[in-house]
Chains A and B, each alone.
Chain A
Amino acid sequence: MLSRVAENLFWISRYVERAENLARVLNDAFHLELDAAGLHGDSEVKGPLDQVLNVLAGQDRFELTWDPRESEGLLTNLTFDSTRSHSLLSMISRARENARATQDTLSPESWSQLNQLYLALTRSKSRMQFEASPYRFYDRVKRSCILFHALVDSTMPRNEAFYFLEVGRFIERIDMISRVLNVWFSAVGEGDKSPDYSLRLVYWTGLLRSCSAYEAYLKRYHERMDAESIVQYLVFDLDFPRSMRFCVGRCLESLHGITGGGRGNLAATDAERRLGRLESELRYADLQEVFARGLPNFLSGVQDACARTVEEMQRAYFLN
């Protein structure tokens, strides 16, 4: 497979995954703004939409050129402003532009799905739909993104193209989960000195909802809503598809798929080695220790490992 095409594929699914996560986070923040308005009172905690900016802030250079307090403007900007690289529309546009240049590698179904999502977002009707109900709007975007991955999954052969798409998708998901966790936890605190319980509850419920994890979490932990259990679930759970450990596993499988190495040959490339190390860290980590060292430390370690994995991939596959 052409190096240029491989890199394109990696970024297509990264952008789609990022757009989906942004839709999730924005939707969650929008609800929190509604729910938590009264609970915030005079507490020091910034509003949920401001927190979204913090999630994005780490990603690239991010400039705040609008007034964050105008929440409606902020929500609209993060969704439609095509001049800002972080908006939902920009991400889908870039994914679509890359896909257009790689149409011959994607299956026609997956290309058409991405193209339709782009066309739907750029139609003038799309603003009206957004204003009528942000919730339904974000839900549609989320579903469209998921449908793209589902079509990739069910229409593409398990070859390099597929695996590059998979790696991009799961690397992005790991990265996004760690950012969201980090920001949300530093907002409402880990321990007892944080704002009152009901505010924390609203945030944590929102967080779980935005990860489609709320009900699955309740089945496992019932009404216990504390930092440890949530981290346990979203970071270390083996079975939940939006837990980091799950994603790292999928990512690693796909990297093996690219190198063609089977289970016996687990570390053929530096990228695999990097990610494999992260996987065993997640596998054997001790929750108490993570909290003792500080969650932000741990999460930035995860982000670092992801970034290095991508660097190694660049070296091995994209820059030939």
Chain B
Amino acid sequence: MTGIRSAAESSGLFSRYSPHGFDEMFTSTGEVRPAYAPLQQRLLNLNCNELERRHRIADLTMQRQGITFTVYGRNKGVERIMPFDPIPRIIPADEWDRIERGLKQRVRALNLFVHDVYHQRQILKDGIVPTELVLGASGYRRELHGIEVARDIYIHISGIDLIRDEQGNYLVLEDNCRTPSGVSYVLKNRQVMKEVFPLLFQQYDVQPIDDYASNLRAMLRYVAPGGIQDPTIVVLSPGVYNSAYYEHSFLARQMGIELVEGRDLVFENGQIAMRTTRGLQRIDVIYRRVDDDFLDPLAFRPDSQLGVAGLLGAYRAGQVTLVNGVGTGVCDDKGIYPFVPDIIRYYLGEDAILANVETFRPLIDSHRQHILANLDKLVVKAVDGSGGYGMLIGPASTAEQREEFRAKILANPRGYIAQPTITLSQHPTFIGEHLEGRHVDLRPFVLYGEEIKILPGGLTRVALPRGSLVVNSSQGGGSKDTWVLGGAHS
């Protein structure tokens, strides 16, 4: 085993590496973690030019296959590839086992919560979660109250964002229970990694991820409206200008089903059908990558051209299954987030396996005092904001911004939450000709069908600018292949 100091001496690759916060590869004393030891040996034997060259091939491969996302900006959207970092993230089997149990528990409880909210509302009556927070959440859809959905599953597909604190504990930062994206990068990263860096796989027993599409399809078939043996399943995309379009088309292709857009669909005789070269064909299950608001201009936003008029009616009548269900936004709301551990305890009688990030709510007197006294240290988030909007990052804020948020919080305490600023864990990342530490998070993908299945690993996003904590791909984030090791190596 090579510590960081001797690694730095024996190879230029590590010469600039410095541990900071929790490091995925090295312990706090600078020793390489056991799971990373074989990888480190491989890296020490590779020269920088070789790594550089292969890195370029990987980028080129992505570009040629058109694995791009669209960044919106001046005039037209620009297609970009998500920068791919060749140093894989490794998760030992025992660590993963815990994550997996934690995710299953969390998603099962959240699904029960959604069902409850749209039926008896027992959890509200029992005072576990404040009613006004739930019914006032921007993702709550009153149109769905009392509606039955196939197999009582709402959150078919979720991406739960995890980060690690200074001690290396995995914490849930965010639940994404509407239309989480990124899974195509997970699958493509692995494919490119195997093509370009086959050597790195030696000596590792990496859990395969190839069965995602078939699991996804099996789940979609399982949730078809009652009694349908061989349902027609489609992926509904907003279209080629959507930033995640590549993923929509990738998933449709991997599952061998049609990729449709709103304009391909019609509502007829209470059912949803698509226009084909042989006339109209009925659809039973729609894996939709269109937000609730745009699904049906009759029910939601009347200006939407991405959905189809009548879809919500067909859904409510049980003629078609939507995946994910409509109204799941009520459970991944930032205002509800602090209650998820209570929700888990309420429905499952268990303590949460994966902890939340400590969260303060201005509605509670003592919390509010703490928040207002520590605005320069906390991150304040608007509960209905996303993508970094309506957010105050205390340590990077000006006095003026803090005053603005103080006023906002006092005026609308329900509209905000606050969390300590957490330094994400860092991971060796190939920058220029060297490895440097960069912050990472992890988005595992959870499928809820006949059983709950979790793709081993998930999307590791990495913040490429030095010191940055923002891993979003639209803001210069890259991604890494993520290896979950088989039991033998834990």
Contact = CB atoms under 8 A, between A and B. Distances in A.
A6 interface: yes
Interface in B458-476: none
B76 to A, nearest CB: 12
A144 to B, nearest CB: 13
Interface in A104-152: 104, 108, 111-112, 115-116, 119
Contact of A100 (B240, B260, B275, B276): B240
B133 to A, nearest CB: 40
A247 to B, nearest CB: 22
Contact of B275 (A4, A108, A160): A4
Q: Which of A97, A104, A316, A320 has the most CB of B within 10 A?
A: A104
B64 A103 contact: no
A147 to B, nearest CB: 13
Interface string B226-249: 000000000000011000011001
A2 interface: yes
B279 A320 contact: yes
Interface in A5-33: 5-6
Contacts of A108: 65, 253
Interface string A173-202: 000000000000000000000000000000
Contacts of B275: 2-4, 320
A4 B66 contact: no
A1 B276 contact: yes
B292 interface: no
Q: Which of B239, B264, B277 has the most CB of A within 10 A?
A: B277
Contacts of A116: 64
A320 B276 contact: yes
A3 B277 contact: yes
A232 B275 CA distance: 43
B258 interface: yes
A17 B19 CA distance: 56
B261 A4 contact: yes
A117 to B, nearest CB: 10
Interface residues of A, number: 22
A111 B63 CA distance: 12
Contacts of A2: 258, 260, 264, 274-277
B263 interface: yes
B252 interface: yes
Nearest to A115: B66
B139 to A, nearest CB: 29
B147 interface: no
B280 interface: yes
Given A2-B275, A4-B275, A104-B249, A320 B63 contact: no
Interface residues of B, number: 24
A158 to B, nearest CB: 15
B259 interface: yes
Nearest to A160: B277
Contacts of B274: 2
A309 to B, nearest CB: 16
Question: 4 closest Cβ contacts across the A-B interface?
Answer: A101-B240, A104-B253, A103-B249, A104-B252
6 contacts: A2-B275, A103-B253, A104-B252, A111-B65, A115-B65, A320-B279
Contacts of A320: 275-277, 279-280
B264 A4 contact: yes
Interface string A90-105: 0000000100110110
Given A320-B279, A320-B280, 5 more contacts: A3-B264, A4-B264, A100-B245, A108-B253, A112-B65
B64 A115 contact: yes
Contacts of B240: 97, 100-101
B221 to A, nearest CB: 18
B276 A3 contact: yes
A221 interface: no
Interface of B: 63-66, 239-240, 245-246, 249-250, 252-253, 258-261, 263-264, 274-277, 279-280
A184 B453 CA distance: 66
A6 to B, nearest CB: 5
Nearest to A107: B253
A45 interface: no
Contacts of A214: none
Contacts of A3: 264, 275-277
A4 B66 CA distance: 21
A3 B66 CA distance: 24
Nearest to B281: A2
Contacts of A111: 65-66
B56 to A, nearest CB: 15
B43 to A, nearest CB: 30
Nearest to B253: A104
Contacts of A115: 64-66
Contact of A258 (B63, B253, B277): B277
A62 interface: no
A1 B277 contact: yes
A160 B281 CA distance: 16
B264 A112 contact: no
B136 to A, nearest CB: 39
Nearest to A318: B277
B479 to A, nearest CB: 20
B259 A119 contact: no
Contacts of B263: 4
A3 B276 CA distance: 5
Contacts of A97: 240
Contacts of B253: 103-104, 108
B130 to A, nearest CB: 44
A101 B65 contact: no
B251 to A, nearest CB: 9
A124 B64 CA distance: 17
B242 to A, nearest CB: 11
Contacts of A112: 64-66
Nearest to B256: A104
A230 B252 CA distance: 48
A63 to B, nearest CB: 24
Given A4-B261, A111-B66, A119-B64, A101 B277 contact: no
A1 B274 CA distance: 9
A12 to B, nearest CB: 13
Given A112-B65, A115-B65, A104 B259 contact: yes
Nearest to B235: A104
Nearest to A98: B240
Nearest to B255: A104
Contacts of B64: 112, 115-116, 119
Q: Which of B63, B64, B66, B258 has the most CB of A within 10 A?
A: B66
A101 B239 contact: yes
A261 to B, nearest CB: 13
A100 B77 CA distance: 14
